[in-house]
């Protein structure tokens, strides 16, 4: 066990034997090596525990007990952590070799950032690449976007441990515990993403997201609506208009996603009876992507029809 680790890696495991060795190997082969690896076996009934115990690396700290669920496992890992930073890891994904090195360097040089993610590569069950994300990297963009939908791949994040001094840990009752926590961190700290992909996120039909799609969407909307209410009450914290222009060199897809955030904000403003703000934001969305028929249609709808949000296509949840 590492006496004074820079990073505490927290990885809950529940019946993850299929990809578990690949996930563990990706952590143990990081170019940055001063970390402890807290693995919580959450009452697995397959061969997961045997796989974990086959590793003799002294950096691994194994916790095993009956099943309590993901949020409880994460909080247990946080309570055990000794590092300056918390790195999340999921048991069926892959951290690329320089992930810790890059994230630690950024956090060491940006002391006001409490939460850091990165772009990530989406792969299928066979590990074949399906897509690469184009996440927001600017803290202002991220803070605004988080009020409309989650902007992070949970397993890809690194969190400054001290944020938990004034931010509660994962809420087991909220179900979308990552989206909830990341928003609460954003209330007190800057949040950011690295442009370089540092994580491989595995899309499987048996994953937590895919097996609970409707519940995830419903709970995400609850967090979204709560966060938008906060935006309305703390408007000066959210730099909606001053961060209009996408960062130099960003792709067309980045502009498209930013225009979608403006459109989603327009939807939320319209739902609160704030038609002028909705029209302004939808106009910005059209300005970013003038050829996107969806955005032009929604602007025309706001200008010529009484708001009826059942006609609106909301993306991002």
Residue 234, in any domain of the structure = no
Residue 16, in any domain of the structure = yes
Residue 180, in any domain of the structure = yes
pLDDT band per the 50, 70, 90 thresholds, residue 247: low
Are the beta carbons of 138 and 247 closer than 8 angstroms?
yes
Residue 305, in any domain of the structure = yes
pLDDT at 204: 81
Q: Are residues 151 and 275 in the same domain?
A: no
Q: Are residues 157 and 189 in the same domain?
A: yes
Residue 153, in any domain of the structure = yes
pTM of the model: 0.91
**Which of 253, 247, 262, 254 has the alpha carbon at shortest distance from 295?**
262
User: What CATH code is carried by the domain that includes residue 186?
Assistant: 3.90.550.10
pLDDT in tens, 113-129: 999 999 999 999 999 99
Residue 155, in any domain of the structure = yes
Whether pLDDT at 5 is above 80: yes
Q: Are residues 252 and 294 in the same domain?
A: yes
Q: Are residues 71 and 116 in the same domain?
A: yes
Residue 231, in any domain of the structure = no
Residues in the chain: 317
Q: Are residues 205 and 286 in the same domain?
A: no
Residue 317, in any domain of the structure = no
Domain that holds residue 304: 244-311
Q: Are residues 264 and 179 in the same domain?
A: no
Q: Which of the residue ranges 224-228, 237-241, 281-285 would you say has the lowest mean pLDDT?
A: 237-241
Q: Are residues 17 and 150 in the same domain?
A: yes
Domain end (from 226, 258, 279)? 226
Q: Are residues 250 and 220 in the same domain?
A: no
Whether pLDDT at 37 is above 80: yes
User: Could you give the C-alpha distances from 193 to 10, 116, 156, 183, 207, in angstroms and in order?
Assistant: 19, 5, 10, 14, 24
Whether pLDDT at 209 is above 60: no
Could you give the number of structural domains in the chain?
Answer: 2
Q: Are residues 20 and 148 in the same domain?
A: yes
pLDDT at 116: 98
Whether pLDDT at 210 is above 60: no
Domain end (from 200, 226, 252)? 226
Q: Are residues 66 and 213 in the same domain?
A: yes
pLDDT band per the 50, 70, 90 thresholds, residue 311: low
pLDDT in tens, 127-161: 999 999 988 888 999 999 999 999 999 999 999 99
pLDDT at 254: 77
Beta-carbon contacts of 303 under 8 Å, excluding residues fewer than 6 positions away, are 279
pLDDT at 276: 93
pLDDT at 250: 57
Whether pLDDT at 52 is above 90: yes
Beta-carbon contacts of 44 under 8 Å, excluding residues fewer than 6 positions away, are 13, 14, 15, 16, 17
Whether pLDDT at 208 is above 60: no
Q: Are residues 142 and 281 in the same domain?
A: no
Q: Are residues 79 and 199 in the same domain?
A: yes
């Amino acid at each position: 066990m590492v006496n004074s680790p820079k990073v505490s890696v927290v990885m809950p495991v529940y019946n993850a034997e299929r990809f578990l060795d690949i996930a563990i190997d990706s952590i143990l082969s990081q170019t940055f090596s001063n970390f402890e690896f807290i693995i919580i076996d959450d009452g697995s009934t397959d061969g997961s525990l045997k796989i974990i115990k086959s590793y003799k690396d002294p950096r691994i700290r194994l916790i095993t007990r009956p099943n309590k669920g993901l949020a409880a496992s994460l909080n247990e890992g946080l309570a055990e952590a000794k590092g300056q930073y918390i790195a999340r890891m999921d048991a069926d994904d892959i951290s690329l070799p320089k992930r810790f090195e890059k994230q630690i360097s950024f956090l060491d040089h940006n002391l006001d950032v409490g939460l850091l993610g990165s772009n990530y590569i989406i792969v299928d069950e066979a590990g074949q690449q399906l897509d690469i994300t184009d996440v927001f990297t600017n803290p202002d963009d991220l803070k605004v976007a988080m009020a409309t939908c989650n902007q992070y791949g949970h397993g890809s994040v690194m969190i400054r441990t001290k944020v938990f001094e004034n931010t509660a840990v994962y809420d087991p009752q909220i179900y979308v515990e990552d989206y909830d926590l990341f928003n609460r961190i954003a209330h007190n700290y800057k949040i950011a993403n690295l442009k370089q992909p540092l994580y491989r996120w595995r899309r499987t039909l048996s994953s937590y997201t895919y097996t609970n799609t409707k519940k995830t969407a419903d709970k995400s909307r609850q967090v979204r609506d709560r966060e938008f209410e906060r935006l309305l009450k703390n408007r000066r914290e959210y730099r909606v208009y001053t961060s209009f222009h996408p960062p130099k060199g960003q792709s067309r897809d980045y502009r498209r996603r930013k225009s979608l955030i403006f459109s989603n904000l327009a939807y939320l403003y319209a739902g609160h009876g704030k038609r002028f703000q909705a029209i302004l934001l939808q106009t910005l969305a059209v300005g970013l992507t003038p050829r996107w028929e969806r955005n032009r249609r929604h602007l025309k709808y706001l200008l010529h029809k009484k708001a009826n949000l059942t006609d609106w296509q909301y993306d991002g949840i």
